[in-house]
Amino acid sequence: MKSPFSRREWLRSGALLAAGFSGLSRWNPAQSYAARREQAFFKEFAALADDQPRIRARIAFNENPHGISPKAKEALIKAVETGHRYSWMESAQLKQLIATKEGVKPEQVMLCAGSSEILMGAALYFTGEGGKIATCRPTYDDLLELAQAFKAEIVSAPLTKEYSYDLNALKAKVTPDVKLVYICNPNNPTGTIIPPNELTAFCKEVSQKVPVFVDEAYIDFMKPEDRPVLPKLIAEGYNVLITRTFSKIHGFAGLRLGYAIGPEKMLKGLRDFTRGEFNLSVTTVMAGIASYQDTEWQSFVRAENTKGLDLLYKGLKEHGYEYTPTHANFVLFPIRMKGKKFEQEMFKNGIFTSTREFDAQPYCRVSIGTLDEMGMFMDVFKKIAG
């Protein structure tokens, strides 16, 4: 695929430089959306750091509350001995493992320091020169807002009444000026999924016209029969890009590891806008190799997540609250007070969770913590909202 916005081409083009062509020069991190958002984040967290002892349940960011696998811990400690080396060999090993499992070539896999890096790279690669991105909303806005902060326009269809992606409505948004379709499956913040056969058919059809990006950050929480097998489409030559992360089932949110699977040519183009494997510490990669193979730990985390969900569902039902059944490690449900007030009241009682508002209705999106954390969440919830 021809990159709509190749940094190398741009750098080579003296004429464009002389003309003051904006291109990447627009990317002023000090002013970018990401930087502004991160500033807000850090401010909030600096305040939270003082309050740290008060936080009894940290269930705001869909992190894995059980930590990393014991085998990954062992690998991490061992890897310290290799800390003076770049991680090329270890990264190649992990890419090979992923490629073998997914039935693609290692060249069709790219590792990154968390999938956020690929979301950012994709925003620049596909729409750095403008154009539209089609999606359904509400969804995970990271790539969309980053793209918008440059020059892209987002065209979106609403989710269905069941809060799922509406693929027909999305297809209708794909006009010739759409440069990318973004899908999040399971969707964050709703936890809903697209039936695998429908998503596969959509990708096959739409990717003939425009690349389809599927963010599969929460795929490991899905039942095996619900999981689409999109790497197969990539192996068959379809213009589809998927991202996965180690931040969730593997518990690597702080260690930072994610990957993309996509056509080799597309990954080459994306490389102009990410640092790929070069950003990875050898400790993270070696721990990643151990964790990737530790299916026992992944099953344990999935099973604990189900127990936490059951506890939450039961509590919400008891108090007459509706919720959207989830396929991930978080649940979205409408609340009966202003979001900020809910967050503050919960926080005062040691529960760190998050809210958002759609169509003037506030919702809580609570991550599934340990059973203890979910018990604490329900106790406080009863007190302030029951």
Name the one range near ligand PLP by CB under 6 A: 80-88, 108-116, 122-130, 261-269.
108-116
**Which member of 55, 253, 371, 384 binds ligand PLP (CB under 6 A)?**
253
Q: Which residue, chain included where needed, has tokens 């085998």?
A: 71
Question: Which 41-70 residues touch ligand PLP, going by CB under 6 A?
Answer: 62
Alpha helices for the chain (secondary structure H)? 7-12, 14-18, 33-51, 70-79, 88-102, 115-127, 142-150, 167-172, 196-206, 230-235, 264-270, 282-293, 295-318, 339-348, 371-385
Q: From the CB of 246, what's the least distance to ligand PLP, in Å?
A: 7
**Which member of 251, 258, 288, 362 binds ligand PLP (CB under 6 A)?**
258
Q: From the CB of 16, what's the least distance to ligand PLP, in Å?
A: 32
Kindly write down the DSSP assignment for every residue of 308-355, as one continuous string. HHHHHHHHHHHTT------SSSEEEEE-SS-HHHHHHHHHHTTEE-EE
User: Is 184 one of the binding residues for ligand PLP (CB under 6 A)?
Assistant: yes
- CA-based Rg of the chain, rounded to a whole angstrom? 21
Mark residues 227-246: x for contact with ligand PLP by CB under 6 A, - for none: ------------------x-
Question: 3-state SS string over 140-180?
Answer: CCHHHHHHHHHCCEEEEEECCCCCCCCHHHHHHCCCCCEEE
Q: From the CB of 320, what's the least distance to ligand PLP, in Å?
A: 29
**Which member of 116, 135, 281, 284 binds ligand PLP (CB under 6 A)?**
116
User: Is 281 one of the binding residues for ligand PLP (CB under 6 A)?
Assistant: no
Q: How many residues bind ligand PLP (CB under 6 A)?
A: 13
With b for 16 or more beta-carbon neighbours within 10 A and e for fewer, the 80-110 pattern comes to eebeeeebeebbebbbebbbeebebebebbb
- Kindly state the helix (H) or strand (E) to which residue 364 belongs, with its residue range: strand 361-367
Pick 23 or 250: Cβ nearer ligand PLP: 250
User: Is 192 one of the binding residues for ligand PLP (CB under 6 A)?
Assistant: no
Q: What is the dihedral of CA 297, 303, 307, 309, to 10 degrees?
A: 100
Q: From the CB of 215, what's the least distance to ligand PLP, in Å?
A: 5
User: Is 188 one of the binding residues for ligand PLP (CB under 6 A)?
Assistant: yes
**Which member of 5, 10, 140, 381 binds ligand PLP (CB under 6 A)?**
140
Name the closest residue to ligand PLP (Cβ): 114
Residues of this chain that bind ligand PLP (CB under 6 A): 62, 114-116, 140, 184, 188, 215, 217, 245, 247, 253, 258
